[in-house]
Amino acid sequence: MSDRHSSIVRVLSSVLALNLLVALAKIALGYATGAVSILSDGFHSLTDSGSNVVALIGVSVARRPPDQNHPYGHRKYETMASLGILLFLLLVLVQVVRAAVERLQLGGSPEVPASGFGILLVTLAINVAVVLFEGREGRRLKSEVLLADARHTRSDVLTSCSVLVALVGVRLGYPVFDALAALFVAIFILHACWKIALDASHILSDETVFAEDDVRAVVQSVDGVLGCEKIRTRGTMDHVFMDLHVWFDGQMPLAGAHDLSHAVKDRLHARFPELADVVIHLEPPPIDGGRHRRRY
């Protein structure tokens, strides 16, 4: 847990520095040229930095061990941090749409020099590197906050590409492309909002993590186990809680059934290393189609 936390913090800190550099460069260029598309993209990039700060706070809280009020630990705070990223995205979405509508109503044409295109290309290259790096580390560490942040930055890559295309159109004599590109930015932001909300809802609503058939196959591979039912899993990608009912021979001594249940736990942990805890309810196999339990 400590190594994982340190790794996530190290990734987020590096990404924060790069995102600030990209955001400041775009905002400065946007104000200098009057291009609402560049300015919108810059503020979009600035939310990347804000989301990094939110994520750092969330991860710091999430690493706390279980306590009396949080017996399952604090890992869902990391998921809540990803919702903080969502809030930043919604705020910037409103600003981008407002700026685009004003440009369509008031008109105007930005002037972007060749050096401006060079700055945008450099920031685009940095964003691509951030997406690849953060996505890879998010999958390796199984961190939803890193994956959410990488998705956020991925939308930044796509918006930067649309801005570059729009500015080419402006230079060819179509100034309306500037406002249209800003609206295009809004679409990417909205899509990123939806994906982050969807991923977080899976965790916060305790959606099943492992398929029942996969768990049942592992449990029934242990000699002496007669079957299982009521398999439930919940939690984050790398911190899963499981409880299930496992059937043992009713004539088996309690100590023997207890030892066998630990063999089941060991087999489950070996197959699913993401498991934080497994609770097994011992019982005899059902009779009469499962309506009654055999009494011994």
Same domain membership, residue 216 and residue 71: no
**Average pLDDT over every residue of 15-21:** 91
Same domain membership, residue 251 and residue 168: no
Same domain membership, residue 53 and residue 35: yes
The CATH number that applies at residue 96 is: 1.20.1510.10
Q: How far apart are CA 132 and CA 130, in angstroms?
A: 6
Span 216-263, pLDDT tens digits: 999 999 999 999 999 999 887 777 899 999 999 888 898 999 999 999
Looking at 149, 178, 204, the residue that finishes a domain is 204
Please tell me the predicted confidence (pLDDT) of residue 289. 53
**Average pLDDT over every residue of 273-293:** 78
The CATH number that applies at residue 266 is: 3.30.70.1350
Same domain membership, residue 220 and residue 75: no
Which of 101-110, 153-162, 191-200, 243-252 ranks highest by mean pLDDT?
Answer: 243-252
Looking at 185, 204, 223, the residue that finishes a domain is 204
Q: How far apart are CA 211 and CA 29, in angstroms?
A: 50
DSSP 43-80: HHHHHHHHHHHHHHHHHHHHTSPP-SS-TT-STHHHHH
Q: Does 278 have pLDDT greater than 90? A: yes
Q: How many residues does the chain have?
A: 296
Closest by CA position to 261, among listed 272, 252, 248, 274: 248
Question: Which one is predicted more confidently, 290 or 237?
Answer: 237
**Average pLDDT over every residue of 10-22:** 90
Span 29-78, pLDDT tens digits: 888 888 888 887 888 787 778 778 877 877 777 677 777 887 777 777 77
Same domain membership, residue 288 and residue 183: no
How many structural domains does the chain have?
2
Please tell me the predicted confidence (pLDDT) of residue 2. 65
Same domain membership, residue 141 and residue 241: no
**Average pLDDT over every residue of 283-289:** 76
Please tell me the predicted confidence (pLDDT) of residue 280. 93
Rounded to 5°, angle at Cα 22 from 21 and 27: 100
Same domain membership, residue 194 and residue 227: no
Looking at 204, 238, 264, the residue that finishes a domain is 204
By residue range, what is the domain housing residue 109? 2-204
- Would you state the torsion angle of the CA atoms of residues 110, 113, 115, 121, taken in this order, to the nearest 10 degrees? 50
Same domain membership, residue 160 and residue 47: yes
Same domain membership, residue 137 and residue 44: yes
Span 65-79, pLDDT tens digits: 777 887 777 777 777
Same domain membership, residue 79 and residue 19: yes
Same domain membership, residue 191 and residue 99: yes
Which residues are within 8 A (CB) of 150 and not within 5 positions of it... i.e. 6 or more apart?
130, 131, 134, 135, 138
- What token pair was written down for 282? 């011992």
Please tell me the predicted confidence (pLDDT) of residue 296. 45
Band the pLDDT of 145: cuts 50, 70, 90.
Answer: confident
Detail the DSSP E strand segments found in the chain.
227-236, 239-247, 275-283, 286-287, 292-293
Q: Does 88 have pLDDT greater than 90? A: no
The overall average pLDDT reported for the chain is 83
* Upper half-sphere CA count for residue 106 (Cβ side, 13 Å): 10
Please tell me the predicted confidence (pLDDT) of residue 56. 82
Same domain membership, residue 140 and residue 107: yes
Q: Does 161 have pLDDT greater than 80? A: yes
